[in-house]
Amino acid sequence: MNALSALFKQGFAHGVHPAENKERTQELPIQRMPFVDRYVIPLHQNLGAPAKAMVVPGQRVQRGECIAEPGAFVSTALHSPVTGWVRSIGPQRFVDGRFAQAIEITADPYSTQRLAPKPPIDWAALSMDAFIGEIQQAGIVGLGGAAFPAHVKLSLPEGQRIRHLLINGAECEPFLTNDHRLMLERPETLIRGIEIMRQKLGAEEATIGVELNKRDAIEVLQQHLRGDLPIRVVPLRVKYPQGAEKMLIKSIYNKEVPSGLLPRDLEILVNNVGTVVAIADYFDLGMPLIERVVTVSGPGVAYPANLIVPLGTPVREVLRFCGGLKEETREVLMGGPMMGAPIASLDAPMLKGSSGLLAFTAQETARPKETPCIRCGRCVEACPYFLNPSRLARLAKARLFDEMKAYQVMECVECGSCTFSCPSGIPIVQLIRTAKDNLRQGKRRAD
């Protein structure tokens, strides 16, 4: 049995196989979106505490200038995506329809919007604490969608070490191809970022996990790897949610992360492809996280694309650059179709965690008629975390949220495999998500 066959036999249990729908954009090179007139930078763009504004209305800011400092350790800085003027600081409409504090910036129409050149940062000479501080000040978060502050992952408890650095290039969400294009177009930068992290962590080796529907990316990465680098590329079976941390670890190392523990407890650190590229760009070019690659796709958009989008760009402007929405469009999602969320307003801004914009017509957004659960067990067979989604959904409908904790509801990562597989059309993951939000709010009130 060859190594690839052994890997496939190993894999992870359960999961689903939604249609990939990547053909619209997988061959499209990354292009830069033109700058627009107005940008909105929400102060809360990461898991953890929001940032604190450091500017005032009327102040002129330069592209890449820090405009908000971290509000706590689990928080990151924010930087201006353009040269211009601070127009206001106050509530702005967010993706989910709620209002949140944000810095609004008007771009200078006469500026070239070039980032001022900065000398490379000597990362090798930094202490680990200083290295972590630099990444926090750069505003870098996980760019796979979770937006977890990158510096927090690097902050290890006393006595812990990382032996394996795992780079997530699976990109298992349908439609999304931004990581795929990054691996194809910027392999040197990705490998550079991996080596920066590996050496600072003292990891023995690094592994890039890439699904087999990206064979060209696997070949390009292997071509750019020098023989003296302890970095390998591992092809992965195409299955959702292959890109989830625990599933990736199971597929590559055949290890399970026990409930309540983190990958670092197994001496493994997982980072997304885009996050690693952002780290390299910061230390080599001095560029903080002020833009990201976004896939714009779906049947409802005129011209699909992979775009470099400045953070804070209104969704409306991104879609306009892609030819606008077709008349039959009924819904726009931010993120992928499995874990993304519908956008309440096209005036909402693009965020650090915005991996995609998907425009769907009535055909894709049609909700199946919900019928009673038939106890078929398909959701149980689909759940990669071995939960009982149908039981959790029944408890959520009965608002028995506290009872759900006994069935490990907080272990759910909301991948949506249960809803996808349910023949009764029950919105299982949405019910679970609501229950988890209710439990978190109750905990905050108790604290």
Contact in structure between 301 and 199 (CB atoms under 8 Å): no
Cα 65–69–74 angle (5° rounding)? 130
Lookup: tokens for 143: 């760019």
322 is in an annotated binding site: no
d(CA 31, CA 144): 19
Going by C-alpha positions, the residue among 277, 353, 356, 345 that lies closest to residue 322 is: 356
The single-letter DSSP state of residue 64 is T
Pairing assessment for the beta strands 38-42 and 60-61 based on DSSP bridges: unpaired
Helix H or strand E segment including 167: strand 164-169
Q: How many other C-beta atoms can be found within 10 angstroms of the C-beta atom of residue 446?
A: 6
373 is in an annotated binding site: yes
Q: Which residue has the tokens 């937006």?
A: 147
Pairing assessment for the beta strands 205-211 and 291-297 based on DSSP bridges: unpaired
Lookup: tokens for 235: 């092809």
Going by C-alpha positions, the residue among 116, 138, 134 that lies closest to residue 125 is: 134
CA quadruple 48, 53, 57, 58: dihedral sign: negative
415 is in an annotated binding site: yes
- Which residue positions form the known binding site for [4Fe-4S] cluster? 373, 376, 379, 383, 412, 415, 418, 422
- Which residue positions form the known binding site? 373, 376, 379, 383, 412, 415, 418, 422
